[in-house]
């Protein structure tokens, strides 16, 4: 259960998308819980970089984190280099797959793994350590899961569907400590786009082809032409057995079943 590996967890403050209330990020909380399964909370290093949201970070203290270290930075651009220099020497770095507060681009684990020069596994659901070898269960869509074996050091990005059973306790939230440390800006500067922000006042418009249609082609579009037969094949003839065979043949033709 417990391991001698050095484990760091990255957490970030989140905001409710509608009310704007301070929250914990689901995937960051899942990452913290996964770390707690590998080592006792007092042996974990819980980090937050670049933001100063004490009330939001209390959420993670309430989940059982003893101490959260906030790396204060002059600007957001230094976030990845500062984290890279702070995380050198750790065996396992856990973070949520995607923040719910800042950019929420899901890029941080990739940039960290690249900066640290170590392996990275995305969409992690479970992880168990034996010595320096980790067995990881990865989330895949359509109900599939994958088992992977990876040697430390490694960055694990935890999927929001990872099991979460820890409860928030106010006493823990009050007892926990938040410390501030000046982050050391590194020299590694990743190429980043320059963003301009504006309030959402309209729906996003999808990219569409401009078509100057002739009347005839517009009418063809309206009736669907001869090629655009609406609906698929309709089988009326034959017995139930024959129809069932047709169904099975359809499934086999489209490689939807494997028997």
Partner 1 sequence: MEQQSARRRIDPRRPYIIAPSGRKRIILGAEEGMRGVHTATHAAQQKPLRMQCEAQKSNGHLLVLLHSERGALDEHARQAIAAAALLADADTAVVVAVLGGCGEDLGAAGADIVLDLPAFDASHFQPERMLVVAQSLIAQYQPRHILLPDRDGDADLGRRLAARTKRTVATDVVELTRDNACRIVPGGRYARCAMPDIVLLGRHAADATLPFVGHGEKGELQLKGTLPEETVRDLGLEASSPDQIALEEADFIVSGGNGMHDMETFAALADALGAATGASRVAVDDGRFVRAKQIGATGKTVQASVYMALGISGAVQHLQGIKDCRHVIAVNLDESAPIAKRANLTLVEDTKTLMQALLQLVKQARQSNGATL
Cis peptide before 153 (omega within 30 of 0): yes
Lay out the site mask for partner 1 across 156-195 (x = CB under 8 A, - = otherwise): ----------------------------------xxxxxx
Does 19 engage in binding with partner 1 (CB under 8 A)?
no
Residue number, 31 or 36, with CB nearest to partner 1: 31
Number of shown-chain residues binding partner 1 (CB under 8 A): 85
**Look-up: residue for tokens 């600007």?**
75
Does 147 engage in binding with partner 1 (CB under 8 A)?
yes
Phi first, then psi: what are they for 23, rounded to 5°? -140, 170
Does 117 engage in binding with partner 1 (CB under 8 A)?
no
Does 21 engage in binding with partner 1 (CB under 8 A)?
no
Using the rule CB under 8 A, which residue among 22, 110, 168, 185 binds partner 1?
A: 110
Does 148 engage in binding with partner 1 (CB under 8 A)?
yes
Does 151 engage in binding with partner 1 (CB under 8 A)?
yes
Does 199 engage in binding with partner 1 (CB under 8 A)?
yes
Contacting residues for 68 by C-beta, under 8 A, at least 6 apart: 11, 46, 47, 48, 57, 60, 61, 176, 177, 178, 179
| DSSP secondary structure of 47-79 | EEES---HHHHHHHHHHT-SEEEEEE-SSGGGH
Q: Is 76 exposed, middle or buried (0-12, 13-18, 19+ CB in 10 A)?
A: middle
Using the rule CB under 8 A, which residue among 2, 4, 54, 246 binds partner 1?
A: 246
Using the rule CB under 8 A, which residue among 72, 128, 166, 220 binds partner 1?
A: 220
Using the rule CB under 8 A, which residue among 26, 72, 149, 165 binds partner 1?
A: 149
Smallest Cα–Cα separation from 33: which of 228, 163, 188? 163
């Amino acid at each position: 259960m417990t391991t001698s590996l050095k484990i760091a967890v990255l957490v970030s403050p989140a905001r409710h998308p509608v009310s704007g209330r301070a929250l914990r990020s689901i995937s960051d909380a899942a990452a913290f819980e996964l770390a707690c399964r590998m080592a006792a909370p007092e042996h974990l290093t819980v980090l937050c970089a670049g933001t100063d949201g004490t009330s939001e970070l209390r959420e993670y203290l309430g989940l059982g984190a003893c101490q959260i270290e906030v790396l204060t930075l002059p600007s957001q651009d230094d976030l990845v280099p500062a984290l890279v220099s702070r995380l050198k020497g750790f065996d396992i770095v856990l973070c949520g797959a995607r923040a719910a507060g800042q950019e929420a681009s899901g890029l941080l684990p990739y940039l960290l793994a690249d900066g640290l020069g170590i392996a990275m596994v995305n969409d992690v659901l479970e992880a168990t350590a034996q010595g320096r070898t980790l067995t990881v269960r990865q989330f895949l869509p359509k109900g599939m899961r994958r088992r992977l074996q990876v040697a430390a050091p490694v960055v694990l990005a935890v999927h929001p569907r990872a099991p979460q059973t820890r409860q928030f306790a106010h006493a823990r939230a009050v007892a926990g400590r938040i410390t501030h440390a000046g982050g050391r800006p590194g020299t590694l500067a990743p190429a980043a786009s320059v963003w301009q922000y504006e309030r959402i006042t309209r729906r996003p418009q999808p990219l569409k082809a401009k078509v100057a249609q002739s009347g005839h082609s517009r009418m063809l579009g309206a009736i669907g032409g001869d090629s655009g037969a609406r609906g698929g094949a309709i089988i009326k003839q034959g017995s139930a057995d024959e129809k069932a065979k047709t169904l099975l043949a359809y499934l086999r033709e489209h490689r939807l079943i494997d028997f």
